Amino acid sequence: MHGTSQDRVKFGPFEADVHTHEIWKYGVKIKLVGQPFEVLAILLEKPGGLVTREELRSRLWAGDTFVDFDHGLNAAVNRLREALSDSAEAPRYIETLPRRGYRFIAPVEKAGSDAPILSSASPQPAIARAAAPESNAEIAPLAQAESLLTLPPRSHRWLRRLAYLGGAGVVLVALFVAVVAIHKKIAASSGMPVAFSPMQRIRPLTNLADETSEPAFSPDGNLVAFRRHSDKPGVSGIYVKRIDADETTQITSSSGACCPAWAPDGRTIAFTRFSDGNDVGIFLAPATKTTEKQLDVNGQKLNVVLNAAEKRLDTHGVAPKRGELAWAPDGKSIVFASATGLALYSFESDHVKRLTDVPPLSEDWGPSFSPDGETILFVRSGDAGIPEEIMSVPKSGGQTTRIASEHSRILGAPQWAVDGKSIVFASDFGSHPGLWRLNLDAKDAPAQINDSGWRPAIARTGYRLAYQRTTHSLNIWQLELPDAKPGISPREQHILVPFTSETDQGPGPQISPDGQKLAFMSSRSGTMEIWVSDRDGSNPVQLTTVGNAGTPRWSPDSQSIVFDTSDRTGSKIYKIRLDRPEPQLLTMDEFENRCPSWSRDGKWIYFASTRTEKYQVWKIPSEGGAPVQVTRDGGHAAFESADGKILYYAKTGYANPEIWQVPVNGGAEKLVAPQLKPFTWASWSVVNDGIIFAQPSGTGRPWISFFDPTHRTITKLGEIQTVPFWLGASWDGKAVVFDQPGWQQSQIMLVENFR
C-alpha cells in the first residue's frame, strides 16, 4: 500500500479504501470487488448500527432492475464473509439480524489513527471485543494459518466460539489453548513430536511486476535466491533477496538462467543456463553483486551485471537435461539430471558419476539432499507423464526406493523437511497446484498444506518455507476443426471471451446444442456466476445471482441450464431457464452434489454425489424428484452418448482420470479405452460421433484429440498453447471452446515458523 486517505478505514488485520474499492489483509491486497465490496462499504458507514436489507436493496439495485434480490444479497454477503474469513454462526465482523439486516460489529478506525470510529458507548457484542487481539503481532497469524494448514472445519468453528467467553484474560487463555490444540492436531497427523511453537505466518517475499520463481534458501535461511523473468533487456536472471529487506541483488543477467542452488558456505550459487543451440550448462557465481556496466538502450540507461565472475562446470560431456540442482551439504558435489539418470559432479575428483539408471521412456529429475547428506530425493517421470513417482537413492548411488506414486504432475523438486522424517512436494493433484506433506515413517496418504504452491524450498535453519504462487486471469478460446477426421488441420483459434475471471475456478465454457449460445462462468460481477452470450462471445448477460455457481450444462432444447453451487452446507444442483431468472433447486440435501449434465431426452439430470461417501454418478428427474444411483465403483462428471444408450463418465475428480462407460438402462461398468485420459474431469466432451478431449503431449504443446468409439482410434486434431482445465465442443464436433490464461503474475511466498 502507498499512502493513506480520508476514505481508508482499518478493522482487525484489514484496511479498506471505500473510494478506490481496494482492501488489504496484513498489507497484502486481496480480491473483493463488485457488490460484496459495496455491502462492506455501506456497513462501514455506520459500524455498530443496523443496516436493513431494504436499505441495501435500494442502494445496490436500481428500482427498475429485475433480479432475485434475496439470492443476490445473500451471495454478496457470503462472498464478503469468505474474503474476511468470517462466519455467520460466530461472526467477528458481520452480524446477521434475522429478517432485518446486518451490523458491522468489529472496532473500526480511520487509517493512520488510533481513535476508533465505533465509540465505547456503541453496542459491542463479546465477539467484537475478541476481534481486537488480531492487531497483536503474536495473535494475527492465526487467521492466515487457517488458509495454509489442513484443519477440520469444526476446529475453526470451535476456535471462533471461544471468543464468546468474553473478558480479556479468558479470551487470551482460550486462544492459547486453541493454538496448542491446533498444533497438537497438526503434529499428530504428521507423526511428529508434539511441542508448542509459534503459529505459521505467510507473506509475499517478492512483489515485482516481472515473474519470480524457483526460490532457494541460503544455508542460514536469511537469504533467498530466485529466478526473475522480464521482457526488459538485462533484467532477467538470478537474484538474491534478504527476507527482512526490500532490496534485491542481481547475480546474473541471463534470461536462460534458472534453478539456483546455494553452496553450504553461502558464498556461491550454482545455476543452470539454457542457451541458444540447445547448449545447457551448470554455472557457479558469487552470491554477491560483481561487476556492473551501464548501457544505453534506446535512450534508456540500464545497469547490467556482467558475467565475468561466472564459472562453468566441466561435466565432461554429461549434459544436464533439466535445470534442477542439489548441492551436497558437505559442499563436495552437485547432483543434476542427465539424459540417462541422476548424475553427481565431484569437486574433489573433477569427475561425473551416474547415480541412477533411468528406465526406458522415463527421466529422473528434481534432486534434493536429505539434511544429513546421505540420501537424495528425486522424481521419476514416465513417458505418459502420469503417474509420477517420488524416489530416493543413496548419495553413492545404487538401489532406488519408491516413496510415493502420485497420479498427478510433480511441480518442482520435492524437499526434505528439517526433521528428515517428512517431505514436502508440489503437485496438481485434483488438477490444481498445491503443496503436500508426506510422513516417511507412516503409511498415511500425503496431507495437503496449501492450495496454490509450486516449487517449494525449505530453509535448513530458521523454520522457513518458500514457494512460488501463480495467479492469472482466464480467457475463453475457440479452436475451429473442419472435421474430426485424420489429416485435417485446424483452421483457426482465437479468443471468444476475454478476462472472465481472476481464479482458476472458471470459465467452464459450453456451446448450446443449437450452436447459437455460449454459457460460461465469470466473477466479473464480484461473485462466481453463470453467464450466457451469443455464440461468438458477444452480448454477455449474467444469468444467475446465487454465488459460487459453476459447471454449466445445456438442456437438449438449448432453453435451460443446470449448474452447481457450493456453500457451507455442501454443493447443490440447480436448474434455470433462460427466460426465467428464478433457479430451481434439484438436490435438497447437504451432500456434495456436483458436475450436472442432461440426458439426451431431457428427462434426467446426471450428477456426481458423495451421498454414499465415495463420489458416484447419480441421476434425478429434470423436474425434481428422488435421486437414483447409476455407478457403483466410483464416478464423476458424466455425459450420455448421442444415441442416449451409453453413459460416459470420468472415473474420479482427480487429474488425468480414466473415462468409463455404463449402459443407460443398467449393466456392467467398463473402461472405454486406456489411451483416453483427458487432463481433467472437465476437459472432455461428447459430440455426435465420439469424444473430444484435451491432454498433455509429454513432449510439447498439449493436443486436442478425437476418440472414435466405433473404430476405437484416437486422432490428434490440433495443438493449443496450454493444457486447459475446461473444454466444451459443438455438437457437430467442428469447434471446441476452452480456457487459457490471460495476464499472469508469479511471486514467491514466504512461510515463517514452518516446522
pLDDT tens column, 273-324: 998 767 899 999 999 865 556 666 556 666 655 545 789 999 999 999 999 9
**Domain spans of the chain?**
1-135, 136-199, 206-408, 472-744
How is domain 1-135 classified at the architecture level of CATH? Orthogonal Bundle (1.10)
Alpha-helical (H) ranges within 279-332 are none
Alpha carbon separation from 699 to 137, 429, 750 (Å, rounded):
48, 21, 32
DSSP 488: P
Q: Give the pLDDT band (50/70/90) at residue 585.
A: very high
Residues 666-672 have a mean pLDDT of 95
Q: For the beta carbon of residue 305, count every other beta carbon within 10 angstroms.
A: 24
Q: What is the pLDDT of residue 657?
A: 92
Nearest Cα residue to 707 out of 486, 408, 477: 486
CB neighbour class for 371 (10 Å; exposed up to 12, middle 13-18, buried from 19): middle
CA distance 135 to 631: 51
Grid coordinates of 563: 449448474
**According to CATH, what is the number of the domain 472-744?**
2.120.10.30
Q: What is the pLDDT of residue 25?
A: 77
Q: What pTM, to 2 d.p., does this model score?
A: 0.54
CA distance 586 to 100: 28
Count of positions (residues) in the chain: 755
DSSP helix/strand/coil, 486:
coil
Interval 528-547: pLDDT, tens: 889 999 998 889 999 998 88
CB neighbour class for 619 (10 Å; exposed up to 12, middle 13-18, buried from 19): buried
Which contiguous run of DSSP H or E holds residue 71?
Answer: helix 69-83
Task: Please state the CATH superfamily assignment of the domain spanning residues 206-408 in this structure.
Answer: YVTN repeat-like/Quinoprotein amine dehydrogenase (2.130.10.10)
Q: In the chain, what percentage of residues exceed pLDDT 90?
A: 46
Which contiguous run of DSSP H or E holds residue 253?
Answer: none
**Contact criterion met (CB below 8 Å) for 707 and 714:** yes
Largest Cα–Cα separation, the chain: 82
Q: What is the DSSP string of 130-194?
A: HTGGGGSTTTTHHHHHHHHS---HHHHHHHHHGGGG-SHHHHHHHHHHHHHHHHHHHHHHHTPPP
CB neighbour class for 745 (10 Å; exposed up to 12, middle 13-18, buried from 19): middle
Q: Give the pLDDT band (50/70/90) at residue 169.
A: very low
Interval 96-142: pLDDT, tens: 887 788 999 999 988 765 444 443 333 333 333 233 333 333 323 33
Residues 52-72 have a mean pLDDT of 66
